[in-house]
Amino acid sequence: MARAPFRRKSGAREANQLVRLAEGLASSKSRAEDVYWERELEAAVMLQLENNDEDAINRALDKAHDAPDATFDALADMVESLTESIMLDSEKGQQRVTLFCAPILVWGRNQIPAKKIPKQQLQDIAVQLSAHVFSSKAKIALADFMFAPDQLPHSYSQSRELLQNLGAAIRERTHLTIDPKTVEDAPDVVCDMRMIVGAFQVTEGEPFYAWQETTTPVEEARQNTLGIWRSQGGNAIKPLLVGFPHELTLPRSFFSACRDADMASRAYSIGASVQYLEAVTHVTPDKLTAVIGGCWGNGLEEYRIGFAIGEDDDVVHGCVWPLVSDEGDDTPVVEEIEALLRAANVGTIILLEEQLPLEFCDDCGAPHFPNREGEMLHAHLPEDAETGAVHLH
């Protein structure tokens, strides 16, 4: 294949142009003007994606942070949607192929599996997704691997490549084989996510989700889909996670499914932490103390919840509640955390008023968590805890 003799390095000019178009779209006040900016922005982003020029895109995303409100979202939405959904020509008309993700929130006393999905189970999962989550018009293919978030593609071009491979699998009426050797090791953490990844294909203009095909109000239909997926899809997924409590969130297009799962995992990890502590220490939740503290870097960045047994000063476990874009110290996040701790029957809940540092362990990088005195400490399970984990320091 002929190669261009050289490719000009992505300059600031491309990035500036992307930001300008995104700002135009974000500040447009009519559907007619939207259509103009959208078309221009789409063409400009597509050019960079097709050239595999992530530098220009990332540079533009950085710049868009400093641009007027909603510019960043307009650009990020366009980049994500062109990354996760492509159009292919066929004799049956244009086919839209879209990457999706079915997330699983999970915790465990031992290392949570991230592994190859056996053929029969992969087929069972695909059948449940086709029957309950996607429309009767959609064809799907899955990757035969249950991924940890860190094992998913790290860049837009890698995501597009995965989508293209899944699109080929759909055309060949098969699933996509992933070579486990090409997948990084998953981190060993108590509470995490696992992802089933696939693609769906519909003729452009046809419905692709089950909730687009009913007359039920949309949110109600979506919740019905989630309920059925949790029971039917849950049965198909259960054999992959024997001994690991888990909960399914709504499968949908890749980036929004991952983001929704990130949000849901904050709440999930609180209940999971309490159950984990009871499982490994046999201390019932009513004997636990949870200390909530806000950690500040450039402003309030996250809450950290330190768990202690009774009135002890040692932190035995902790969980992090990262804040997303529009959350700050004036949003009711603390109330939500307190309600979740109460729902998990935690005996004592302490809210610290002071601003805590974003401290991490120098040796292992683990976050430190507050005790009732507001000291930031490394979490260590009691020595008699029944877990396979080894304490290195």
**Least separation, in Å, of the C-beta of 380 and Zn ion?**
9
CB nearer to Zn ion: pick between 12 and 361: 361
Quick check: 356 and 370 in contact, CB under 8 A?
yes
Residues with Cβ within 8 Å of 121's Cβ and at least 6 positions away in sequence, in order, are 236, 237, 239, 240
The helix/strand/coil state of 230 is: helix
Nearest distance, CB of residue 102 and Zn ion, angstroms:
33
Binding mask 48-67 for Zn ion (x = CB under 5 A): --------------------
Of 220 and 313, nearer to Zn ion (C-beta) is 313
Give the DSSP H/E element, type plus range, for residue 172.
Answer: none
Helix 71-84 crosses helix 54-66 at what angle (to 10 degrees)?
150
Cβ 378 to Zn ion, closest distance in Å? 5
Site stretch for Zn ion (CB under 5 A), options 2-10, 156-164, 309-317, 353-361: 353-361
| DSSP structure class, residue 10 | P
Least distance (Å) from Zn ion to the CB of residue 215? 55
Positions 365 through 384 that interact with Zn ion (CB under 5 A):
366
- The piece of 176-184, 283-291, 293-301, 357-365 that touches Zn ion (CB under 5 A) is 357-365
How far apart (Å, rounded) are the C-alpha atoms in residues 127 and 198? 13
Nearer to Zn ion (CB atom), residue 218 or residue 361: 361
d(C-alpha 255, C-alpha 264), whole Å = 14
Phi-psi region of 11 (alpha: psi -120 to 50; beta: other; left: phi over 0): beta
Q: How far is the CB of 393 from Zn ion (least distance, A)?
A: 6
Q: In one letter, which amino acid is 135?
A: S
Encoded amino acid at 127, one letter: V
- In the bound state with Zn ion, the residue whose beta carbon lies nearer, of 187 and 239, is 187
Nearer to Zn ion, 185 or 363 (CB): 363
**Structural contact between residues 26 and 77, judged by C-beta atoms closer than 8 angstroms:** no
Part of the chain binding Zn ion (CB under 5 A), chosen from 145-153, 199-207, 258-266, 364-372: 364-372
Nearer to Zn ion, 266 or 368 (CB): 368
CB of 346 to Zn ion, least distance (A): 25
363 lies in the site for Zn ion, by CB under 5 A = yes
Q: Terminal CA-to-CA distance of the chain, rounded, Å?
A: 55
Q: Which of 1, 87, 242, 364 binds Zn ion (CB under 5 A)?
A: 364
Asked whether the CA dihedral 87, 90, 94, 100 is positive or negative, the reply is negative
Stated as kind and residue range, the H or E segment containing 95 is strand 95-107
- Minimum gap (Å) between residue 156 Cβ and Zn ion: 34
Question: Six-digit token pair at 193?
Answer: 């996510």
Q: How far apart are CB 273 and Zn ion at their closest, in Å? A: 18
Q: Which of 90, 361, 380, 386 binds Zn ion (CB under 5 A)?
A: 361
Q: Total residues contacting Zn ion (rule CB under 5 A)?
A: 4
Q: Which stretch binds Zn ion (CB under 5 A): 101-109, 202-210, 346-354, 363-371?
A: 363-371
**In Å, how far from its chain's centre is CA 390?**
28
Tokens of residue 288, six digits: 């636990």
Q: Does 35 bind Zn ion (CB under 5 A)?
A: no
Task: Find out whether 180 and 145 touch, Cβ atoms under 8 Å.
Answer: yes
Is there a contact between 16 and 63 (Cβ–Cβ < 8 Å)? yes
Q: How far is the CB of 70 from Zn ion (least distance, A)?
A: 40
Per the structure block, which two tokens stand in for 84?
Answer: 């996760």
Contact 225, 128 (CB under 8 A): no
What is the three-class DSSP state of 198?
A: strand
Q: Looking at beta carbons only, is 198 or 306 nearer to Zn ion?
A: 306
Q: How many residues are given for the chain?
A: 393
In the block, which residue shows the tokens 């995490």? 192
In terms of CB distance, is 39 or 380 closer to Zn ion? 380
Least separation in angstroms between CB 362 and Zn ion: 8
Give the nearer residue to Zn ion in terms of CB position, either 31 or 393. 393
Of 93 and 357, the one with the shorter C-beta distance to Zn ion is 357
Binding positions for Zn ion, rule: CB under 5 A = 361, 363-364, 366
